[in-house]
């Protein structure tokens, strides 16, 4: 039977070994990303500049031309891999008629619908890493909660269940050469809620 000291030392050793493995993987990924940056880095940054330029043009439009999304944001994000990660995002408010119960069958439910697109230099040579995320979050107010005695009874308050938020996301890698003008505009249209992004998910 092992002494508690030996068991404690074994746990410390395992944690240290795991930390070392994680560090080695990060170093390996960073090295692969750097090699890919040397290959496609300049063209990649040109693509980012195209994104930013089009987004600036959109944001300079009158407010009436930017309904329903308001503005599209763009941001460079630092990380350990130094993979030139950029995030583009937008949001809108939507209203959906939902079944609420027998006493008040339907009501208008408000949601915040946000879309985010991340792009970075992949560890795979000649490729870029793409991540998409769309969230529909329900706005719940205190007065939406049932207050009466009868509304608390299941018989009078059988509601269709709706989750408070819905998340749709996907990550994929594509060859950089496939990111032509048409694909760029398809991403812009998705952020502007002009298409549903069926090719992204």
d(CA 68, CA 74): 18
Q: Is 127 exposed, middle or buried (0-12, 13-18, 19+ CB in 10 A)?
A: buried
Closest by CA position to 109, among listed 164, 167, 154: 164
Quick: pLDDT tens for 152-183. Answer: 455 444 444 445 789 999 999 999 999 999 99
Backbone phi and psi for residue 161, each to the nearest 5 degrees, phi listed first: -70, 130
The answer to whether 101 and 138 have CB atoms below 8 angstroms apart is no
Please determine, for residue 11, whether its predicted confidence score (pLDDT) is greater than 80.
Answer: yes
Domain spans of the chain?
Answer: 4-191
Three-state DSSP state, 68: coil
Task: Give bridge partners of residue 120 from the DSSP assignment.
Answer: 129
How much is the pLDDT for 156?
A: 44
| DSSP, res 119 | E
Quick: pLDDT tens for 29-80. Answer: 999 999 999 999 999 999 999 999 999 999 999 999 888 889 999 999 999 9
Q: Give the predicted TM-score (pTM) of the model.
A: 0.75
């Amino acid at each position: 039977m092992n002494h508690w000291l030996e068991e404690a030392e074994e746990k410390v050793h395992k944690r240290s070994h795991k930390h070392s493995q994680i560090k080695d993987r990060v170093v390996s990924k960073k090295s692969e990303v750097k090699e890919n940056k040397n290959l496609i880095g300049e063209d990649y940054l040109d693509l980012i500049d195209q994104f930013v330029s089009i987004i600036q043009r959109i944001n300079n439009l009158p407010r009436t031309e930017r309904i329903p999304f308001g503005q599209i944001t763009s941001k460079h994000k630092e990380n350990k891999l130094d993979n030139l990660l950029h995030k583009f995002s937008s949001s809108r408010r939507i209203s959906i008629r939902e079944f609420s119960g027998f006493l008040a069958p339907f009501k208008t439910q408000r949601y915040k619908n946000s879309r985010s697109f991340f792009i970075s230099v992949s560890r795979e040579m000649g490729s870029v890493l793409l991540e998409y995320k769309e969230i529909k979050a329900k706005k719940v107010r205190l007065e939406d909660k049932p207050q009466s005695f009868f509304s608390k009874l299941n018989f009078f308050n059988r509601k269709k269940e709706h989750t408070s938020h819905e998340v749709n996301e996907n990550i994929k890698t594509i060859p950089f050469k496939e990111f032509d003008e048409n694909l760029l505009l398809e991403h812009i249209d998705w952020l502007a809620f002009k298409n549903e992004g069926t090719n992204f998910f």
